[in-house]
Structure 1
Amino acid sequence: MKKIGIFYGSGTGTTGEIAERIAEKLGLGSEHVYDISSVDLNVLTQYDLLILGTSTWGSGDLQDDWDNAISKVKKLDLSGKAVALFGLGDSGSFSDSFCSGMGILYRELQGSGVTFYGWSDPEEYEFEDSESVVDGKFVGLVLDETNESTLTNGRIDKWIDLLKKDCPAS
């Protein structure tokens, strides 16, 4: 297994909790889990697989910590890095912009030399629209802790299995 780092932005702490759960399921210690608001961004260059997590705020906005950091992250040399995204959203209250923050991260990192892994099937979710759906698939793991928290562990397990199968850096 290559070196995996998990980086998240979290306004309420939920995305951070999910990042820790993903780390545990991957057998990673918490020293490989970083809050994007307080990390030296150069740390991203030390990992082969970057797992990036964000929630979606308002009507489809990127979480504030990522909004502040993404322009600096894009200036790093990420060529050849594998990237897997996870996003949190509320399909009940924000069905028309469900997990769109993750789609913004995807769009912002396109052209930076990274390869994305961990796409998931939107058929497993009830929502109207999302910037995270590209070519008929979610660009990463989608979680709805507000309405479907009982499905989270199974979704994480399925996603990790997919990463282990498809991503050479996992």
Structure 2
Amino acid sequence: MKAIFYATSTGNTEEVANKIHEKLEGFELIDISSEGVSRMSECDSIIIGVSTWGEGELQDDWEDCFDELQEIDFSGKKVALFGLGDQESYGHEFVDALGIMYETLNEKNASIYGKTSISGYEYEYSKAEVDGEFVGLVIDEDNQAELTDERVTNWCNEIKVIL
């Protein structure tokens, strides 16, 4: 099974999840606010969408499912991540939730794909930047919405051969 798991508060993460879903064949779209994360155990390929809230924290639905997420064995699973954040207002914690998710899944032995360039973003600090790259697709709907479609298309073209 292949699935895109996401949660949304403002609708932006859902919108990006839908755009990714349109570009990739064979993926089920799962809103964790109604279905949780337990079905990740059934998946071989997983895409996870998170947004950063508060002081660099996970969105509430992800926070609520975090303990359950940590119980899943991700060994042998292919995972790609995307995250939303606001680089101008929250440049000191830009897409930190993406970094939190990456750290968690990396510790759970997931095979993580879909890193992207930090070029084109202006921020002070991000937990999602590892070795000079973002650990997944980064979207800033607040300040760079005009770049979202191109970024989604490029990323999907890269990961569809892997996932």
2:11 — aligned with what? 13
**CA–CA distance in structure 2, aligned partners of residues 27 and 162 of structure 1:** 14
Give the root-mean-square deviation of aligned CA atoms: 1.4
Aligned residues: 163
8 Å CA contact retained: 1:70, 1:108 = no
**CA–CA distance in structure 2, aligned partners of residues 164 and 41 of structure 1:** 22
**CA–CA distance in structure 1, aligned partners of residues 36 and 60 of structure 2:** 17
1:155 — aligned with what? 151
TM-score normalised by length of structure 2 = 0.94
Q: Deviations over 1:87-140 (max 9, x none)?
A: 000111111111111001111222212110000011221111111001111000
2:139 — aligned with what? 143
Give unmatched runs, 5+ long, in structure 1: none
Residue 27 of structure 1: how far off its partner (Å)? 3.2
TM-score normalised by length of structure 1 = 0.90
Give unmatched runs, 5+ long, in structure 2: none
Structure 1 residue aligned with 2:47, among 41, 48, 51? 51
Residue 28 of structure 1: how far off its partner (Å)? 4.5
8 Å CA contact retained: 2:7, 2:13 = yes
**CA–CA distance in structure 2, aligned partners of residues 42 and 128 of structure 1:** 35
1:129 — aligned with what? 125
Residue 81 of structure 1: how far off its partner (Å)? 0.3
Give the 4+ runs in structure 1 shifted more than 6 A. Answer: none
2:107 — aligned with what? 111
SS at match of 2:34: coil
**CA–CA distance in structure 1, aligned partners of residues 56 and 73 of structure 2:** 28
8 Å CA contact retained: 2:7, 2:49 = yes
